[in-house]
Amino acid sequence: MHKRTYLIWLTALNACLFVSNALGQPQPAELELIMVHDDLYVIHNEFVPGNATALITDEGVLLIDDKFERDYSNMVELLRSVTDQPVRFVINTHYHGDHSGSNARFQAAGAEIVSSERARLKMVEFDQSGLPVFTIEDFGRIHIGGKEIELYQFGRAHTDGDVVVYFRDYRLLVAGDLFTYGGATPQLIDYAGGGSAKDWTRTLDRILRLDFDTVIPGHGTVTTRAEMQRFRDSTLDLRNRVQGMVRGGSSRDEVEVMLREVFGWQDLHIARGLDGLMGELR
């Protein structure tokens, strides 16, 4: 990927993850429907917002993440191209608006919203619409159309309420922003949302104990377990570098330079995460 394209990707990702729906993405994204299995699709776009994943069954659709509200109509149109079934469940992998922004629209159409309890608390705190009616603490299951879908909350990472969704029969994991791939910076830590650089690696280690080959990241293209393992290693590298610099007496400016040069952090990463990162690892 050319450097300019990479920086454009980062800028777009930064905008979508932490700003409000009104500011994060002024126009609906250009979406495409990508078949992963004969009944499992990713609603994908090149930049932002995040991926949505749809399981199509004869008892309705299970949707994982639902982008911004302005993307609702385009998502529904794509889903209608492959099924006449309504969306029955929406699982939010975390509270950010590019993954939960269409909750109220799907609720109005009859869907039940599911998240971790911590993610719901953040939605309440930030006065988001379309609050989940079902929540999990550590583990849950949804049964629909003869399929069993497993939900896990393994610990803090990107936020304190990140959920991964596991399709055991397909050996497939939907990771949310615990894992981004293909141009996104790997460690976007939302300290206001309870995120943790220190816990991120341990949380990924727990996830990697599951038996899967394919991963749908929060942003980026469908990829492999091996790429998620490399992502895990990068979270450890960042943590160790920052901790070594902080404990060695490096200034905030010096840590910032390193994060920009080595890990591609941009202005919003710095504004949202640097002080929390240095405080956590001091």
Domain boundaries, the chain: 3-229
Structural contact between residues 3 and 45, judged by C-beta atoms closer than 8 angstroms: no
Residue that is written with structure tokens 């609720």 in the block: 107
| C-alpha to C-alpha distance for 221 and 44, rounded to whole angstroms | 8
User: What is the residue-level pLDDT of the chain in tens, covering all 282 positions?
Assistant: 333 333 333 433 444 444 444 334 568 999 999 999 999 999 999 878 899 999 999 999 999 999 999 999 999 999 999 999 999 999 999 999 999 999 999 999 999 999 999 999 999 999 999 999 999 999 999 999 999 999 999 999 999 999 999 999 999 999 999 999 976 555 789 999 999 999 999 999 999 999 999 999 999 999 999 999 999 999 999 999 999 999 999 999 999 999 999 988 888 778 888 999 999 999
* End-to-end Cα distance, the chain: 34
For tokens 């990771």, the residue is 175
Q: What is the pLDDT of residue 186?
A: 58
**pLDDT given at position 229:** 97
d(CA 251, CA 118): 34
What is residue 48's predicted lDDT score, i.e. its pLDDT? Answer: 82
**What is the residue type of 115?**
S
Which overall architecture, per CATH, does domain 3-229 show?
4-Layer Sandwich (3.60)
Calpha distance 177→108 (Å, rounded): 26
Kindly state the greatest CA–CA separation across the chain.
61
